[in-house]
């Protein structure tokens, strides 16, 4: 296998696959990448709460590459990529087990949304809202890679709906930490704050992406209306 050392080379090796390019994180500290033939693998530590090993390419080539990569990075990294690829890898790579499937969504469109959402000056109230409305969120104040929060607020300043710019790569901004206070749901606030953050990310990075539970039809519908397209992905583990 051969090392990939720059973001430009990673874009070329992956044919611009947004998931792979996002995992590269602009080759921030600790990120490593390799290719062999048409297979590519990116090891990114502590990316969206996990040590992730993003993979793409023909299954036989990826299986051979992944086996070599695990010898370099160790067993904490969780393979991540298209669902069919991950299912087939689990049958080919010793000790690898399929974990779960979910959705990756991305867009290069700037959504047109009328909104009063704005970036917060700090993080006051964010943890409280997440605890109430989305305790399983991967993005939390103070967590590595979580950069800033946007919100829809009530007249008195109370946070009603929030979303974060978290784990963004230079080429792919990332939306996470979406939560709406239960009493404020059903009013389109999530669409407004997600539309604002999406527009900001696309303008800055050229593309925005997110991950969503595959059975969360309501959220997926909101993201589709904002221009996102859906891709079924999965994770595995050793």
Interval 211-236: pLDDT, tens:
999 999 999 999 999 999 999 999 99
Architecture of the domain spanning 109-206:
3-Layer(aba) Sandwich (3.40)
Take residue 195 and report the two structure tokens written for it.
């539309």
pLDDT value at residue 156: 87
Name the 3-class secondary structure at 237: strand
pLDDT value at residue 150: 98
Extents of the domains making up the chain: 2-103, 109-206
**CA dist., res. 196 & res. 201, Å (int):** 9
Residue 80, pLDDT > 90, answer: yes
| Overall average pLDDT of the 15-20 stretch | 98
pLDDT value at residue 23: 98
Q: What percent of the chain has pLDDT over 90?
A: 99
Name the 3-class secondary structure at 7: helix
Per-residue CA distances from 191 to 114, 142, 215, 236 (Å): 10, 25, 18, 31
Could you give phi then psi for residue 153, rounded to 5 degrees?
-125, 155
């Amino acid at each position: 296998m051969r090392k990939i050392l720059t973001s430009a080379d990673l874009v070329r090796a992956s044919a611009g696959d947004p998931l792979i390019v996002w995992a590269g994180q602009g080759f921030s500290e600790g990120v490593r990448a390799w290719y062999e033939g048409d297979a590519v693998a990116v090891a990114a530590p502590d990316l969206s709460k996990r040590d992730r090993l993003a993979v793409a390419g023909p299954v036989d080539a990826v299986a051979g590459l992944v086996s070599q990569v695990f010898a370099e990075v160790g067993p904490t990294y969780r393979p991540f990529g298209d669902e069919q690829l991950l299912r087939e890898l689990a049958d080919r790579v010793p000790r690898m087990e399929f974990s779960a499937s979910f959705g990756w969504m991305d867009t290069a469109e700037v959504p047109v949304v009328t909104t009063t959402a704005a970036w917060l000056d700090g993080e006051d109230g964010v943890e409280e809202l997440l605890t109430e409305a989305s305790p399983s969120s991967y993005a939390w104040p103070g967590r590595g890679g979580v950069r800033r929060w946007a919100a829809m607020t009530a007249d008195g300043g109370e946070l009603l709906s929030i979303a974060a710019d978290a784990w963004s790569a230079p080429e792919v901004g990332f939306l996470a930490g979406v939560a709406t206070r239960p009493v404020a749901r059903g009013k389109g606030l999530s669409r407004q704050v997600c539309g604002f953050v999406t527009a900001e990310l696309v303008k800055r990075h050229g593309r925005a992406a997110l991950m969503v539970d595959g059975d969360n039809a309501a959220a997926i519908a909101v993201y589709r209306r904002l221009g996102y397209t859906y891709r079924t992905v999965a994770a595995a583990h050793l």
